[in-house]
Amino acid sequence: MINAAINKWLLAASMGLSAWAATASQASPALPVLEPEVSDVATLRLDVPHRFFTSGWDGDSFMIFDGDSGKMEGSIPAGYISNLAIAPDNSRFYVSETYWTHGARGDRHDLVSIYDAKSLHLMKEIRLPGRALVSKVQNFDINASGSRAYVYLLQPASSVVWVDLKQQVVAGTVEIPGCALVFPWGEQGFSSLCGDGSLASVSIPESGPAKVTHTRPFFDANKDPIFDDSFVDRVTGNAIFLSYSGLVYPAKLGFDTVVDKPWSIQQAAGYAAAGTGVQELAWRPGGSQLAAYHKASGRLFVLMHTGNYWTHKQGGTEVWVLDTKTHALLSRFPLRPAPTSGLGDDKAPYYQSMGVSQDENPLLYLLNPEGNDLVMDAATGELKLKIESAGGHMVWVPGY
C-alpha cells in the first residue's frame, strides 16, 4: 500500500515537471545566434547642396551636417583657431591650423592640411612659415578654381602666404603692411582691408613679383569700421562690405578695384540711416558671423537688433533679407532667443552666426551660443529644423 502511494506520487510529480518544462520552453525566447562583428567605412556624397559645416565648441574640429535631416554626417579634426575652405568641386577640404608638440608649448607647427571629402582621410600636410592666430573667417581662403590658398599671417609683419595646391607647396609671401584678411578674386589675386580705410589688391602672376595697388579710403576705421564678415564672389570679384552702422559698400575686386557708393540697410527698410552716436538707438547689424550672401539671387541676409552704436557683437532678433541689386528690403524674419538654464527668454543670447546654401532652394543655418540652432527656408523664413547643438560660432557652406 505504501509503495503504491509512493509510485502514484512520483508519477504525478513527473507529470507536473513535464508540463512545467513544456510551458517554460514555450515562454522562453530562443537563444540569440551570435554573428561575428563586421566593420565598414562610410563615405560622404559630394553632391549635397544642403550640407553645412560648423566649428566645434572647443575649436578642435569641424562638424558636418545634412541641412535637410539635421543629422551630423562626420567631423574633421583641427588644431588651434583653425579655419576651413571647401574646394569648388567639393572634392577636398582644406584646414589652416596650428599645433604645438607638447600641447600648449614646444615646437609650433602651422599647417594647411588637405582632407579627402569622401573618406575624410588626411591626404597631405603643408608646412607654413607662420599663421595669424585670429578667429576670423577671412584669414584663410582659396581662389576661384581651388588651385591656390591664401593664409593671412604675422611673421612679424602683416602679410599673406600663398600655397600652390596643385604642387602642394608654399609658393611665396606678400607683405601687406597696415592691412589684413584675404578676399580672393579670380585665379591670381586677393584684396585686404586696410586700417586707413582703403583696400589693398594683390596680383600674383605665375612668374615674376607680386603687384600691390590701393584704392582711395572709402570708410573711417575709427568712426564706422567694416565687418571682417564681408563677402566676395571668387569667380567674378563682386564683393559686399558691410559697416558697423549698416552701410553696404558694393565693390568690384581686381587689380584696379572699384568701390561703389554705399547704401543703408535701415533706409532700405524705410527708416532713417543709423548714425554713429553712442546714445543713438536704431536697428543695427551684429553678431559673430552676422551676414550671409546668396550669390545667384543677390540676396543679403543680415542679423539685426535694436541697440546703440558699438553693439556690433550683439546677436540678432531678426533676419533682414535685402536685394543688393535694387537696395530693397524683401523680408524680415523674427527670431526668438534660445531658452537657457536659469535665464528667461528676455536675457537669453540671440543668434550670433548664419550661413546660406547656394542652391536654387536655399536654406538658412543659424547658430546660437546656447544651442537650439535653426534651419530655415531662406525664401519664406519657415522653420524647417531645430538642432540641439550644431557646433561653435562659424558656419561654412559649399559653393560659396
Specify the CATH number for the domain of residue 316: 2.40.128
What are 224-253's pLDDT values in tens digits? Answer: 999 998 999 999 999 999 999 999 999 999
Q: Quick one: pLDDT at residue 7?
A: 52
Average pLDDT over residues 209-238: 95
Question: Which neighbouring-strand residues pair with 263?
Answer: 248
Q: Tell me: pLDDT of 125 over 60.
A: yes
What per-residue confidence (pLDDT) applies to 26? 55
Q: Judge contact between 305 and 315, C-beta under 8 A.
A: yes
Q: Write out pLDDT tens, residues 296-338.
A: 999 999 999 999 999 999 999 999 999 999 999 999 999 976 5
Give how far Cα 92 sits from Cα of 42, 282, 385, Å: 17, 43, 28
- Are 265 and 246 in contact by the 8 Å Cβ rule? The answer is yes
pLDDT at 357: 97
Checking if the pLDDT of 282 tops 70, the result is yes
Cβ–Cβ contacts within 10 Å for residue 117, how many? 22
Residue 344 scores a pLDDT above 50: no
Q: How far apart are CA 368 and CA 167, in angstroms?
A: 39
Contact 189, 255 (CB under 8 A): yes
Confidence bin at 13 (pLDDT 50/70/90): very low
Which pLDDT does position 134 carry in this prediction? 85
Domain membership of residue 346 (yes or no) is yes
The answer to whether 50 and 42 have CB atoms below 8 angstroms apart is no
At residue 11, the pLDDT reads: 43
Nearest to 395 by CA among 295, 292, 303, 314: 292
User: Contacts from 375-383 at CB under 8 Å and sequence distance 24+?
Assistant: 375/67, 375/70, 376/319, 376/333, 378/294, 378/299, 378/301, 378/321, 380/331, 381/319, 381/331, 381/333
Residue 119's pLDDT band (boundaries 50, 70, 90)? very high
Read off the pLDDT of each residue in 144-159 and give the average, rounded to a whole number: 93
Which DSSP string corresponds to 236-284? Answer: T-EEEEEBTTSEEEEEE-STT-EEPPPEEHHHHTTSPPP---TT--EEE
Q: Which of 52-61, 158-167, 177-186, 294-303 has the lowest mean pLDDT?
A: 52-61
Whether residue 191 has pLDDT greater than 80: yes
> How many domains, in total, are found in the chain?
1
Q: Is residue 356 scored above 70 in pLDDT?
A: yes
Strand, coil or helix: 175 = strand
pLDDT at 346: 46
Backbone angles phi, psi at 231, to 5 degrees: -135, 150
Distance CA(282)–CA(284), nearest Å, equals 6
The confidence score (pLDDT) of residue 258 equals: 97
Within a domain: 338:
yes
pLDDT at 188: 92
61-65, 188-192, 342-346: least confidently modelled range: 342-346
Pairing of strands 282-285, 291-294: unpaired
Whether the ω angle into residue 156 lies within 30 degrees of 0, i.e. cis, is yes
Cα distance between residue 396 and residue 353, in whole Å: 10
Instruction: From residue 64, give the alpha-carbon distance in Å to each of 6, 72, 117, 151, 397.
Output: 76, 6, 11, 23, 10
Q: What is the DSSP letter of 46?
A: S
Biggest alpha carbon distance in the chain? 125
How many alpha carbons lie under 13 Å from residue 358 in its C-beta half-sphere? 12
* pLDDT attached to residue 399: 86
The answer to the question of residue 344 being in a domain is yes
The rounded mean pLDDT for the chain is: 88
pLDDT band for position 10 (cuts 50, 70, 90)? very low
Q: What is the DSSP string of 88-108?
A: TTSSEEEEEEEEETTSSSSSE
379 within domain boundaries: yes
Domain of 363 in residue numbering reads as 277-400
Q: How confident is residue 368, by pLDDT bands cut at 50, 70 and 90?
A: confident
Is residue 336 included in any domain, yes or no?
yes
Q: How far apart are the first and last CA of the chain?
A: 100
- Mean pLDDT value of segment 84-100: 96
- pTM assigned to the model: 0.87
Asked whether residue 16 carries a pLDDT value surpassing 70, the answer given is no
Residue 64 has pLDDT above 50, yes or no: yes
Within a domain: 335? yes
With respect to residue 78, please indicate whether it lies within any of the assigned structural domains. Answer: no
CB atoms within 10 A of CB 209: 10
Query: How many Cα atoms within 13 Å fall on the side-chain side of residue 184?
Result: 28
Q: DSSP character for 213? A: E
Is 362 part of any domain?
yes
Question: In 3D, which of 325, 327, 387, 393 has the Cα closest to residue 354?
Answer: 393
What was the pLDDT predicted at 302?
98
Q: Does the pLDDT of residue 341 top 50, yes or no?
A: no
Which residues are CB-neighbours of 208 under 8 A, at least 6 positions away? none
